[in-house]
Amino acid sequence: MTSQVIRYGGDYNPEQWPREVWDEDVTLMQRAGVTTATVGVFSWAKLEPSPGEYDFAWLDEVLDTLHTGGIEVILATATASPPPWLAHRHPESLPVTIDGVRLAVGSRQQYSPSSSAYREHALRLVRKMAERYARHPAVTLWHIGNEYGCHVPRSYDEESAAAFRVWLEKRYGTIDELNRAWGTAFWSQRYGSFEEVGVPSRMPTDGNATQAIDFDRFSSDALLELYRAEREVIRSVDPDAVATTNFMGLFRHADYWAWAREVDVISDDLYPDPADSRSHILAAATRDLMRSLGGGRPWLLMEQATSAVNWRPINVPKHRGQNRLHSLQCVARGADGILHFQWRQSVAGTEKFHSAMVPHAGPDSRIHREVRALGAELKDLGDLIGQPVPAVVAIVLDWDSWRAVEQPSTPRQLTYDQTIYAWYEGFLRRGVAVDFVAPGADTSGYRLVVAPLANVLNDAAVSRLGEVVTRGDVLVAGYQSGVLDEDLHARLGGYLGGAGSALQRALGVRVEEFAPLPDGVTTALTGDLAGQGTVWQEIVIPVGAQVVSAFSDGFTAGHPAVTRQDATGGGVGWYVATEPDTDTRDALVDRWLTDAGVEAAFASAEPGIETVVRGGRRFVGNHTPEHRVVTVAGTSVELEPYGALFLSAEGADR
């Protein structure tokens, strides 16, 4: 980050407005404390009205106008939405759905990630942009593409199939190795050569699971490759260029652990639903993920709405103060910039009812007044820039497990992200900071490592998780963890990484059978910890672990639901074979924290309230419509509905 004020602003699309509005925009931006405008995200058609014919004069003027006004520019490469002429000349560049439907021009992102025509034209534009603007004094960051994969995460066209085969050949080397990994001895699926392999389009019934996950992996890589190609063009012009692309929180179709390695600044777009009283959980988890993806370094909120979006069936506005709450939540959880989609609300197009920083009603409006107030408030938080958010609890997050548990032909299709949010919520309710980690990551800085639904674990990840207890820390694993290896082959001998694995030893259990519960069916848990289980049951065989809680009815009656083992090495291993109800989960979190010696900020669960410490300053936010008084780390704090504050190091409000 370049400045010592928190970046503030949003997407700016001046091409939708007459020239005279631009000057008013800059004046209004200055009054609102805006520091940053993201320009050009959807400008390709205006920048290159016909192939090879460029019009940069207007963008020159936009950048100069902003620069003169003291507004820095995040410059987009403008490749997010190709102009109609591309598909007109290259219909094969359009994406194809799983059912073979070629998607039409008229919205956006209508390109196949593997289209050579798209790539060629996009890179040509990026080179022109980089040559013209890389050294423009207003430009501080490159915004490559936009929300890669948002609408078209994958395409089933011919070029994608060819690229998939190349990817497979690189991954497996030989067709024999592919046959082994894909388990093609099953259902006569053996391939004689890579040429015979296709994309997993619509099939008579559920297809090969490893082919499906490989296509997911390939599709994430294909998009990432586009990002990389654009970045390399920019770097070839300016080796010092700083680049990002905007992530979309826990987005199933892009493995952000891999993506994070390629961006200089982690940035994210998030639109928590104001109508959902639980959306703050998703929001807090997402902010923590963004910080974690960058290994703790500051990140940038690239987009949020000041109020309503346009793309839900019912687009409820944010509550008064809620955009401030969301913004401060980001800063508290590691963001050094708060940007919005978009500066001025459009008059035409799909997003004309999407809120903005300057709404249809103009600057004399509730929304714009809140925008100005937030700009002023962020100016005072500059001391948090670059500051870390310490956490000693880690949750394992893994795209392969996500892909695997949501595949068909599993005992029960599970919703991975909702499960992650549910387990995360237990810590949020106690005011305990959480980082996310990849399954094979070094977790030695954490006292408590929690692995919900860690379904796919390679050998290294199994060992890594086992090490948590042998080094003296606490490991919690959830149901369905360690069931599959990276080829999605079942691990034999009592799951959880397979017979005699480091994970089985760490937890002191084997898993003999699954018994998923139908929707709405619960199972009573009895013992030292009583409560309800939902979603899942298992036949767990303790091999050293103590039973904390047992299933009391149905197929698994009498078998352990929750176990705990004091492991050799001084650590503790917990296993949870069901999805506990909220109270039971709170009680479990309490025990895990005690085992790990981690102190919670709230003495007991505080639904709807969050707290986190950044740079020695404690943030407290109220995500409920009620006035609340809470005790946070010994200090009593009063919060308005949707109110938020930072306590100074001494405990006084600021």
**Identified catalytic residue from 72, 147, 579, 610:** 147
Please tell me which residue in 303, 377, 425, 606 is annotated as part of the active site. 303
Q: Which two tokens stand for residue 651?
A: 């405990």
Residue 403 contacts residue 252 (beta carbons within 8 Å): yes
Q: Does 268 bind ligand GLA (CB under 6 A)?
A: no
Burial status of residue 640 (CB atoms within 10 A of its CB: 0-12, 13-18, 19 or more): middle
Count of positions on this chain that bind ligand GLA (CB under 6 A):
10
Residue 567 interacting with ligand GLA (CB under 6 A)? no
Indicate whether 435 belongs to the interface with ligand GLA (CB under 6 A).
no
- The smaller minimum CB distance to ligand GLA, of residues 253 and 585, is found at 253
Q: Report if residue 271 touches ligand GLA, rule: CB under 6 A.
A: yes
Best CA proximity match to 281, nearest among 624, 627, 632, 636: 624
Q: Report, in Å, the least distance between residue 535 CB and ligand GLA.
A: 31
> Per rule CB under 6 A, is residue 343 in the interface with ligand GLA?
no
Binding mask 284-303 for ligand GLA (x = CB under 6 A): -------------------x
The two tokens of residue 170 are 């690189």
Contacts of 497 (CB under 8 A, 6+ apart): 457, 462, 465, 466, 482, 491, 503, 504
User: Using the rule CB under 6 A, is 309 a contact of ligand GLA?
Assistant: yes
- 354 interacts with ligand GLA by CB under 6 A: yes
d(CA 328, CA 254): 27
Q: Residue 269, interface with ligand GLA (CB under 6 A)?
A: yes
326 makes contact with ligand GLA (CB under 6 A): no
Q: Is 147 annotated in the active site? A: yes
Number of H helices, E strands in the chain: 17, 26
Shortest separation between residue 309's beta carbon and ligand GLA, angstroms: 5
Question: Which residue lies nearer to ligand GLA by CB, 274 or 466?
Answer: 274
Burial class from Cβ neighbours inside 10 Å (0-12, 13-18, 19+) for residue 172 reads: middle
Q: Give the integer Cα–Cα distance in Å for 320 and 309.
A: 15
Percentage helix, strand, coil, to 5, in the chain? 35, 20, 45
Among positions 118, 148, 247, 341, the unique one binding ligand GLA when judged by CB under 6 A: 341
- Output the smallest distance, CB 350 to ligand GLA, in A: 8
The distance of closest approach from Cβ of residue 352 to ligand GLA in the complex, given in angstroms and rounded to an integer, is 12
Contacts with ligand GLA, 132-161, as mask; x by CB under 6 A = --------------xx--------------
The one-letter amino acid code at 50 reads: S
Assess whether 351 carries a catalytic annotation. no
| Residue 619 interacting with ligand GLA (CB under 6 A) | no
H helices of 173-273, in order, are 175-182, 209-237, 256-260
Burial of 628 (0-12, 13-18, 19+ CB in 10 A): middle
> Which lies closer to ligand GLA via its Cβ, residue 38 or residue 556?
38
Least distance (Å) between residue 326 CB and ligand GLA: 14
Question: Which residues are annotated as catalytic?
Answer: 147, 303
By CB under 6 A, name the binding residues for ligand GLA.
Answer: 146-147, 269, 271, 303, 305, 309, 341, 351, 354
